[in-house]
Amino acid sequence: MKRYCLALDLVDDPQLISEYEGYHRNVSAEIKKSITDAGITVMDIYRAGNRLFMIMEVDDTFSFERKDAMDAANPAVKVWEQLMWKYQQALPVAKEGEKWIIMDQIFAL
């Protein structure tokens, strides 16, 4: 098992943040299946203000390249991702079009 931690910001607007959280309380079975089919066994998202933090645990079949290819071929995921961009904004260190940024681990106990 491998773990990844990622960060992303939301548009700093209380109404939009509330809507975003509402969507995540009711994620469709198809979107959840796209996540698990990619080899993601755990996905938790936390929020502090408008900063999001995601923890993903993945199996040996997972790669970001494979997940990207699967997402690009899935119309439901494309609709979901387009909708989420209404609420999300890239971190200042993100490259053009980049959403979630993989965080570097700096401490472990």
Cα–Cα distance measured from residue 11 to residue 80, given in angstroms and rounded to the nearest whole number: 17
Helix 64-72 to helix 29-37 angle, to the nearest 10 degrees? 140
Question: Is residue 70 scored above 90 in pLDDT?
Answer: yes
Give pLDDT tens digits for 12-61: 999 999 999 999 999 999 999 999 999 999 999 999 999 999 999 999 99
Query: Which residue type is seen at 22?
Result: G
Cα–Cα distance measured from residue 27 to residue 97, given in angstroms and rounded to the nearest whole number: 23
Please count the other Cβ atoms lying within 10 Å of the Cβ belonging to residue 22.
9
pLDDT for residue 20: 98
Q: What three-state secondary structure class fits 12?
A: coil
- When the pLDDT of each residue in the chain is averaged and rounded to a whole number, the result is 96
Report CA-CA distances (Å) from 55 to 14, 63, 86: 23, 15, 22
pTM of the predicted structure, to 2 decimals: 0.91
Question: Is residue 9 scored above 90 in pLDDT?
Answer: yes
pLDDT over 90 percentage in the chain: 94
Nearest C-alpha neighbor of 54 from the set 29, 84, 95, 28: 84
Give the mean pLDDT of 68-92.
96
Give the bridge partners for 8, in sequence order.
52
Ordered by where they begin, the domains of the chain are 2-102 (3.30.70.1090)
pLDDT band at 97 (very low <50, low <70, confident <90, very high): confident
Give pLDDT tens digits for 21-32: 999 999 999 999
